[in-house]
Amino acid sequence: MEQRRNHLDQPIGEPVPDWVPRPRPPRSAMTGRYCRIEPAEVDRHITELHAANSDDTEGRLWTYLAYGPFATLDAYRAAMAPLFNSDDPLFHAIIDSRSGQAVGVASYLRIEPAVGVIEVGHINYSPRVQRTPIATEAMYLMMRRAFDELGYRRYEWKCDALNGPSRSAAARLGFRYEGLFRQVTLYKGRNRDTAWFSIVDREWPALREAFERWLDPNNFDEQGRQKVSLSSLTRV
């Protein structure tokens, strides 16, 4: 592709005609086949979330989060209430469609409507979500809202560079690795280098097709085992 240049013969970015700021994410539910995602509410979700998280008896869920683990429901409620009441991050509870119970959380954050950039983070999947279609469908629903419903241009994923499972999940979901940001922050008394990933709007149509193919019930056998892996469908 020929590089665009200005009248001074300097390279410049491609034009984005007729761009207007995008809406902020609404506080409304997103419904899929395996799960429903709804704005997190302390009174409605906190007890179910704490019960689901308690299945993780070793506290592995909290290693790479800035908060937790929580020994009691009251401690969990006190820590999460300010987050659940925030507009950025905007927390969502992930509801198992079969049980009707809240089994995980994820949020939109660093929301920038003016330039169409939004991040997904604070992802905390209880053992009841891990390695199930719910885990994948939740991310698909949140991406679909960002790109199809709201018209954002860029969707980000960031994690502790030492968080191998998170990095693997990002790659499986179709995010592209963009680099390592060193000594970004401190949490729990230790350094964090941050790995950055993203999906941009021109990549989304192919990824949406990959998600929908993987999530189709025909992709699973009678024991619930996948026939085609998502990573094989999202691989660049």
Q: Return the domain boundaries, the chain.
A: 30-234
Rounded CA separation 196/57 (Å)? 30
CA angle 196, 200, 206 (to 5 degrees): 120
pLDDT of residue 236: 63
* Distances 42 to 39, 128, 217 between C-alpha atoms, Å: 10, 20, 33
Domain at 30-234: CATH architecture: 3-Layer(aba) Sandwich (3.40)
Per-residue pLDDT, averaged over 24-37, amounts to 97
pLDDT of residue 4: 85
Q: What percent of the chain has pLDDT over 90?
A: 92
pLDDT tens readout for residues 112-161: 999 999 999 999 999 999 999 999 999 999 999 999 999 999 999 999 99
